[in-house]
Amino acid sequence: MARTKQTAKRYGKRLITWTRFHLPREQEWPTWSVDHPDIHVGPLAGAKGLWKASLGRMVDNPEQAAYIIEWFSLDDLKDFQSSPACAEFLRNLPKDNNDNPQISINSDSTLQHADASSRFLILKHATERVTPKVEGRVTFTTFLVPRNVDDVYGMYNNTFDRVFRTFNPRDSEFRFSAVWFWVLAEDEWVEEKFGKLESTQEEDDNTNNNNNQGRTLFCNFFLWQRRLRVDPEHEEPSAADPEAREAWNQAVAQAMPPATAWKQERWDIRELPRFYPLEPEFDPELSPEELEYERERKRLLREYLQLHGFEVGGRSE
């Protein structure tokens, strides 16, 4: 409901955050310790700047999940990270099966920013061109460039896009699409896979550009989309095919250097269902006279539509 009002004032591509957590195989969605009307987004429901939320599960480790959020701006994300809602959000997304979150919380129930930020991988689109949604079965590949990259778009365009623009891991007739991001802020997963990067306090304070800390990461989401007649049934044999793996290795080799390391995962991603509050039939601020007028106007309109053969109250498909 609030989304349409926000979009009128916001332009440009949105930021994406990934928060990894443990989700039992038999549990379809995350749950919250407090009941929320919008049950799948829980404490996120009233967050400023929230556009969309999705759930990802790793194909090769289905209990490894990711809560994926699209934000209008970095400021919106920062506001959420320092709010009580973020404290509740992270408390209910355990890192692993034995996790008992020890989150540093201030006296006003807000999180210390450093504790919250380590759970959010922040991704920024590498290009402003129109790109498809990242959903369904995806191959998620992260590339490490071990230096500052001032011209992120230039490196994406001249190296990664050039190498992977026509890449096809199965050398078949299927058409694929991909979406590229670069990492604006790292999370614990990046440290686990690529090592902890030592930084100065001055660099830590520059939260708008994690790039200054001495390395840059590019992320490629290779989409196996049903609308392109490519789906998980095609991806499964490709993932197990040694020739497909070799095709990946050969393509990655063309991006080395500048990249020096890469990690790859397979994910299933789907958008979380939303439950929006019902709009009141009439403006609650109307005076009794105005309310009576609106009711009569609506009655007359209904009669007019019925008289001309329209099905009042029907929903167009």
Percentage of the residues of the chain whose pLDDT score is greater than 70: 74
- Range in 31-40, 80-89, 164-173 the model is least confident about: 164-173
Q: What is the mean pLDDT of residues 112-132?
A: 78
Beta bridge partners of 210: none
Q: What's the whole-model pTM score?
A: 0.71
The CA-to-CA distance between both ends of the chain, in Å, stands at 20
pLDDT band at 199 (very low <50, low <70, confident <90, very high): low
Kindly report, residue by residue over 140-183, the tens digit of the pLDDT.
Answer: 999 998 888 888 888 888 888 888 887 877 644 555 678 899 89
What is the pLDDT, as a whole number, of residue 131?
80
**Alpha carbon of 308 to those of 22, 146, 314: distances in Å?**
56, 69, 14
d(CA 126, CA 178): 12
Q: What is the mean pLDDT of the chain?
A: 76
Region 236-245: mean pLDDT is: 76
For 208-260, give the DSSP string: T-GGGGS-EEEEEEEEE-GGGT--HHHHHHHHH-HHHHHHHHHHHHTTTTT--
Look at residues 5, 93, 115 and name the one whose alpha carbon lies nearest to residue 49.
5
Identify which of 55-64, 200-209, 267-276 has the greatest average pLDDT: 55-64
CATH number of the domain at 3-271, please?
Answer: 3.30.70
pLDDT bucket at 227, cuts 50 / 70 / 90: low
Determine the pLDDT at residue 279.
Answer: 57
Structural domain spans, the chain: 3-271, 281-317
